[in-house]
Structure 1
């Protein structure tokens, strides 16, 4: 059984408005084909089909029609259940991100490794980042169904592994980090496959509201993770933060097994699906270089100013070597005969380049912000994990609200670039507000000041995604969507790694002078850097000094995320919406 897709709607009888107004592949530079002209001409989405035939119109399944006029589109069979399966995974994608942010300090402190806490997040993000685009490639060969199952199962297994690691286990922190890496392998496909499957089924102009639903579910998951993560960790233990995700994954898997099928005609034409085809079509060399380069770079960022000075040959070699590998990665992407991890042709032209620059900056700023807020609450304000999570819950509502606003605007007025500009501007404003928080400030500010950045994230993410999708033909939508998520994820990796390095470097440099000549000073410093919970056990005068140093490091981190968000605004202001298909 298969489901009918937009790609399967053969161009048998083109709409009379479309005869001479087809938008060519890629970015259209002709001003008469700008977004407004396209909208005025009632430009419809034309798709490349795997096997067009004049008889296809007589054998259509429900929701299938020959014309691409989406006014007559009806959902395919089991559409609601397909959405339930997809949105369950999207919920987990949001839930896992914030529940980890709310509890990573507790987890790392239990293993005496708070100075490497960023690896709990970056291990997930590195594997998620590398495998996100591969889901798009492999799903083009073996179908969406297989990749949906792979991502869901591996995500569940990774969560299960995290929950089963014992505190007494030798190298327990390392095993949790490895388990987070496995979780990321699956997590990379949760959001990507939801977007790709919906792109198969839903016409482009109707997709805005469904993307808003997807963003809303992501936001709802983030709210639940932020709200309950700390409570679960304080109540029954942090392991249940991961174990509770396993039943939801099992539910999504069960529903998906029944209703998620492959497109009617597939997406690889008549080519036989074999493992040999995967090796020819999928850019494993590029993926390996990307994972290796990022991992080595993260090791350098983690060691620098933490375990080793920044001038250490090991730190310098890791940073220089990883940069060289990233250059080699780009060379491979330009020359590979496989489908590249990052198709460089999707970055040609000012609009795609500026959009993806804004994308990576938004990802960096958003995760730097998300990663450091719980630490600010737990160290500077001495909140429990439960209280810190509660502080994140209400502002997290702003993310799905922003997604809803973006969906409505896209569906009614288009204005994709405008959404990106507004979203990034709100991120700058919100990050700047948090940067301005004093060491001791009015309690209401800790609620109000963190709202705008979340709202901006909710607006900018769908804005960037649909700007990218509207720039290219439908045949490129799977690879475009996965590329958008990949580039954003690269930003999130660096957001966590860079700001964590800033905090740890600040602690290493400032703590010795701030603590003065106290007994066992270096042991105390080591405890502070390795266990967040140890701060609460310090004498009041030493505790205050340690909190002040943490505050300095966190303030520098928020200032960095503000500057990066400002760079995203600059890119959005320079972008010009020419050649975009209308979303109205």
Structure 2
């Protein structure tokens, strides 16, 4: 056997033989095999990103077509897809009913907390599910996310005041952050990279189905049996997913690279300080955005102090992430280079535009059009249906042709067009526009989300990926590392997926908080002038800002100008979401697919 430190040389015949007979990437090198011949066998050119994720039958072996689903695969998919359904259902059912819920507690001016309290904990702890799943296993993290999500929904349904409700939404977010992440990670463990496109499309389709169901039935549930059942009805589904997952979900073969009996070593791998800093920074920022233009003027020392403090805390968070010896919440190594940076800029802007759009649409329907919660929810079914259609389209394109960057661009373009169309809606417009104009943005969202995820995954090495011939020649030790399957490559899947979700979730938090602040500021500034000399104006303004449902009980001479002011604020919010969708598109135009590879196990 040749010296592992020496640099192997290959003849042209060896390279030709290697290309004709590529090795099985899932099999480790034999203990007594010749490293030179193995290195030559590994010298197969890595496929490009613009190749399809699923190859044609003629290349079945090389494309990983010989893969067969593991035992209990359908039951595993049922368990994780039930959680994905809940993730989509909870998001839109809250969007369809938050105005009704907050109005019952006379807290419409702080309605954004119903969503942001969920998003803050979901955002901060979402990546930690990837880290903890690498340490404690997939089963434990699946259980934790399912249990806390179910308990949070139960608490929301039983909450007696808005503070407790927001706290329970935060607990729900802690669990919800793991529902989609663990589904992606579990699938990544089982399914080769090339075949993952359609399964990711299925996952996005289930998310979209949940979103359609939440949007369609949320308002009706709130109007007929009470908004509390919007949360209570999720508990049985969560219990079913938990019970099924307990029976079928297993940890990946190969074990973990840490002794789980050494708790000091375990906690040294977890970036708890980074997660807590992120929670505090975002929470402080949300306090400033909630108070500014609402309870206090934007120039108030408290508002300015919280916003400046949040920026400093975020800077400290980045500093901690760059120096921590644990596995960071955001691995900065994944943000090196032009493509990763531009991809994540598009990611955060797409998340911001998507949730700003989702948060404002039901308010537009219920305030400007005076729809009931039931009718507003039914209207939301149209854009919610567009999301899984976009995901299905993206899955088909990825499977057949690849073209990840072009999918990201197409999704961003549709989001820009959709947000611009909604911004152009007038206070009184043609009825068909309220149906057609709200479709493109969510279609683009369904395309861009999986495309960004797979662009990020394709940017980094995956299990069984072989380097180019020149890199293989550098050293036998590097070759051996490439050829031997290790669990750390599965860890890269988890880290990549959770990083994508984290960056996107930051955008969703900012989208809801910023647009809510815009609307509340508009109401505070414009209502006194719009209402003129109406008697008891201060009380009316306070009532309008704290309860959306109170609008319908007001006299026409008060209700009409109040609706116009709401319309102005919502239109400004849509303009902001359009701007960020445009930034996402510009970032994708500068991103190049050069260097991306489509790989498989």
Can you list the C-alpha shifts for 1:485-516, whole angstroms capped at 9, x where unaligned?
Answer: 00000000000000000000000000000001
TM-score (norm 1): 0.90
3-state SS of 2:65 partner: helix
Q: Trace 1:110-125 onto structure 2 (pairs within 5 A).
A: 110-125=104-119
Distance in 2 between the 1:201 and 1:17 partners?
28
Alpha-carbon distance change, 71 to 329 in structure 1, aligned in 2, over 3 angstroms: same
CA gap 1:18/1:151 in 2 versus in 1, 3 angstroms: farther
Call closer, same or farther: CA 1:447–1:39 in 2, change over 3 Å.
Answer: closer
Q: C-alpha deviations, 1:107-128, integer Å up to 9, x for none?
A: 1000000000000000000000
Q: Quote how far apart the aligned CAs of 1:38 are.
A: 10
- TM-superposed CA distance for 1:93, in Å, is 0.3
1:348-390 residue CA offsets vs partner (Å, 9 max, x unmatched): 0000000000000000000000000000000000000000000
Query: Which residue, 377, 386, 395 being the options, matches 1:398?
Result: 386
TM-aligned CA distance change 1:15 to 1:360, over 3 Å: farther
Pick one of 192, 195, 204 that aligns with 2:193: 204
Aligned residue in 2 for 1:322: 310
**Which residues of 2 match residues 563-574 of structure 1 at below 5 A?**
563-574=579-590
| Secondary structure at the counterpart of residue 308 of structure 1 | coil
Kindly report which structure 2 residues correspond to 1:428-439, keeping only aligned pairs within 5 A, or say none. Answer: 428-439=416-427
Do the aligned residues in 2 keep the contact of 1:159 with 1:179 (CA within 8 Å)?
Answer: yes
Secondary structure at the aligned position of 1:136 is classed as helix
* CA radius of gyration, larger in: 2
How far did residue 22 of structure 1 move?
A: 6.7
Verify the 8 A CA contact 2:347 2:504 in the aligned structure 1: yes
1:97 and 2:91 aligned: yes
Contact persistence 2:223–2:374 (CA under 8 A): yes
Show the 5 A alignment for 1:159-558: 159-166=153-160, 172-266=161-255, 268-269=256-257, 271-474=259-462, 475=489, 476-558=492-574
Q: In the TM superposition, what is the alpha-carbon distance from 1:581 to its structure 2 partner?
A: 1.9
Runs of 4 or more, structure 1, over 6 Å off, are: 13-18, 37-42
**1:12 aligned to which of 29, 46, 71:** 29
Count of equivalent residues: 540
Aligned to 1:61: none
SS of the residue corresponding to residue 263 of structure 1 reads coil
The 8 Å contact of residues 54 and 400 in structure 2, kept in 1 or not, is answered as no
Q: Which SS does the other structure have where 2:426 is aligned?
A: coil
Cα distance in structure 2, aligned partners of 1:39 and 1:412: 7
Q: Which residue of 2 aligns with 1:26?
A: none
2:77 to 83, 95, 117: 83
Q: 1:541 to 1:39 in 2, by over 3 A?
A: closer
C-alpha change, 1:39 and 1:160, in structure 2 (3 Å) is: closer
Structure 2 residue aligned with 1:581: 597
CA pair 421-558 structure 1, distance change in 2 beyond 3 A: same
Residues 38, 98 of structure 1: alpha-carbon distance in 2 compared, 3 angstrom cutoff: closer
Task: Tell me the distance in 2 between the aligned counterparts of 1:307 and 1:77.
Answer: 57
Q: 1:18 to 1:548 in 2, by over 3 A?
A: farther
For 1:305 and 1:85, the matched residues in 2 are separated by 44
List aligned pairs for 1:38-57, cutoff 5 A: none
- In structure 2, distance between residues paired with 1:110 and 1:466: 42
Provide the rounded CA distance (Å) in 1 between the counterparts of 2:293 and 2:493: 42
Preserved contact between residue 11 and residue 68 of structure 1 (Cα < 8 Å): no
Tell me how far apart the structure 1 counterparts of residues 62 and 116 of structure 2 sit (CA, whole Å).
Answer: 42
Question: 2:114 & 2:131 partners in 1: Cα distance?
Answer: 27
The two structures, once aligned, show a CA RMSD in angstroms of 2.1
The reply on whether 1:133 has 2:143 as its aligned counterpart is no
- When residues 36 and 452 of structure 1 are mapped into structure 2, their CA distance, relative to the original with a 3 A threshold, is closer
CA offsets 1:166-220 (integer angstroms, 9 cap, x no match): 3xxxxx1010000000000000000000000000000000000000000000000
1:57 corresponding residue in structure 2 = none
- CA distance in structure 2 between the aligned counterparts of 1:364 and 1:353, rounded to whole angstroms: 17
Determine the structure 1 residue equivalent to 2:64: 70
Counterpart position of 1:49: none
* 1:473, distance to aligned residue in structure 2 (A): 1.6
Q: Is the 1:144–1:197 Cα contact (8 Å) retained in structure 2?
A: yes
Q: Deviations over 1:267-295 (max 9, x none)?
A: x3253354323320010000011000000
Distance 2:325 2:598 in 1: 33
Shift of 1:20: 1.9
**Cα 1:86–1:273, aligned 2, differ >3 Å: closer, same or farther?**
farther
Structure 1 residue ranges without an equivalent (≥5): 1-6, 24-32, 43-66, 167-171
Identify if the C-alpha distance between structure 1 residues 41 and 558 changes in structure 2 by more than 3 Å, giving closer, same or farther.
closer
- 1:306 is paired with a residue whose SS is coil
Q: What is the CA–CA distance in structure 2 between the aligned matches of 1:455 and 1:528, rounded to whole Å?
A: 34
- Residue 37 of structure 1 and its aligned partner are, at CA, apart by 8.2
Deviation of 1:401 (Å): 0.5
Partner deviation per Cα, 1:443-486 (whole Å, 9 max, x = no partner)? 11111100000100000000000000000122211100000000
Asked whether the 8 Å contact 1:410–1:583 carries over to 2, the reply is: no
- Mapped to 2, the partners of 1:273 and 1:89 lie a distance apart of 30
Q: Does 1:35 align with 2:49?
A: yes
2:149·2:172 contact (CA, 8 Å) conserved in 1?
A: yes
What's the TM-score once normalised by structure 2's chain length?
0.87
Report how far residue 15 of structure 1 moved.
Answer: 9.6
Instruction: Compute the displacement of 1:87 (Å).
Output: 0.2
